[in-house]
Amino acid sequence: MLNSKTAIKRILLGFFLITTIFVWYGVLAEERNGLMTVAFLDIGQGDAIFIETPSGKQVLIDAGPNKKVLRELSKQMQFYDRSIDILIESHPDLDHIGGFPAVLKSYEVDFVFSSGVNCEKTICEEFEKEILAEGIEEQILTRGNILDLGDGIYLEVLFPDRDAFGFETNMASLVLKLIYGETSFLLTGDSPKSIEEYLISLDADNLDVDILKLGHHGSHTSTSEAFIGFTNPEKAIISVGKNNRYKHPHPDVLDILNKFGVEVLRTDQEGTIIIKSNGEDLIF
């Protein structure tokens, strides 16, 4: 049986821990203060985008090639926060989904969304195994779907517009428009120029955004002049590894962005790129 001094110490310790958690939660809520955070994580050659709404809903779009995503997530999330509401797989290439199994082992997740393209790679099998083991609801997104994140924030699915099961993986990339009030982001996965052209034919009046995450890490296979003209971004994000073997971003892509006066932010130069929005203005 515990003596009275030990019991009192444990009660006080428990009270201290609970109080600390509430204090941290209050500080975090005050820091968010109506702000949405979009962090383009520095995970090397790949994509990983973390979104947090003012009320604390969290979304991770892609997870880079490996476990490095866990280190970057820990910089964006409070130490006691062990859950992420939504994971979104833009398409099943290693540099976009390699870190997802580690994320599922480290965080509780409610939903996993994808484009539904088929994948027989080992990493896809490992990811699917973790999804099944955790009993997570998995859904396919297609054009017209809206993910309501609360606080007036939503993700609009622009592509694919059909069953993408047999598509080449880059061609099946989810294209998502993140909207908060008067601010907007376009997230394009590894979509090639042919999909950009198709989106122009479908959505010419809906492509104008503040922030464009370039397709395919700045490869010359993406980012046509026409697409930059219609999206008309203030800034372009290139998620890319330092000294990568593909030599991304391609000089031609940088020339196009310069021609249109688009400021370029690169994870290989800036590290994790954090942009906040209050629904009216962007804060860098």
What is the tens place of the pLDDT at every residue in 136-154? 999 999 999 999 999 999 9
What share of the chain has pLDDT > 70, as a percent?
89
Phi, psi of 177 (to 5 degrees): -110, 120
Residue 91's pLDDT is 98
User: What are the tens digits of pLDDT across the range 65-74?
Assistant: 999 999 999 9
Mean pLDDT along residues 53-59: 98
Residue 27's pLDDT is 47
Q: State how beta strands 175-180 and 183-187 pair.
A: antiparallel
Residue with tokens 């580690």: 102
CATH number 3.40.640.10 is the correct assignment for the domain at 35-283: no
What share of the chain has pLDDT > 90, as a percent?
89
CA distances to 103, 151, 186, 218 from 64, in Å = 11, 28, 18, 16
Is the predicted pLDDT of residue 176 greater than 70, yes or no?
Answer: yes
User: What are the tens digits of pLDDT across the range 189-219?
Assistant: 999 999 999 999 999 999 999 999 999 999 9
Phi, psi of 142 (to 5 degrees): -140, 165
For residue 278, give both structure tokens: 């209050």
**Average pLDDT, whole number, for the chain?**
93
CA distances to 99, 173, 256 from 148, in Å = 25, 20, 34
User: What are the tens digits of pLDDT across the range 229-263?
Assistant: 999 999 999 999 999 999 999 999 999 999 999 99
Confidence of residue 30 (pLDDT cuts 50, 70, 90): very low
Instruction: Count Cβ atoms below 10 Å from residue 280 Cβ, excluding itself.
Output: 10
Is the predicted pLDDT of residue 11 greater than 70, yes or no?
Answer: no
Secondary structure of residue 198 in the 3-state scheme = helix
Taking the C-alpha atoms of residue 131 and residue 138, their distance in angstroms, rounded to an integer, is 8
Residue 162's pLDDT is 97
User: What are the tens digits of pLDDT across the range 80-125?
Assistant: 999 999 999 999 999 999 999 999 999 999 999 999 999 999 999 9
Confidence of residue 12 (pLDDT cuts 50, 70, 90): low
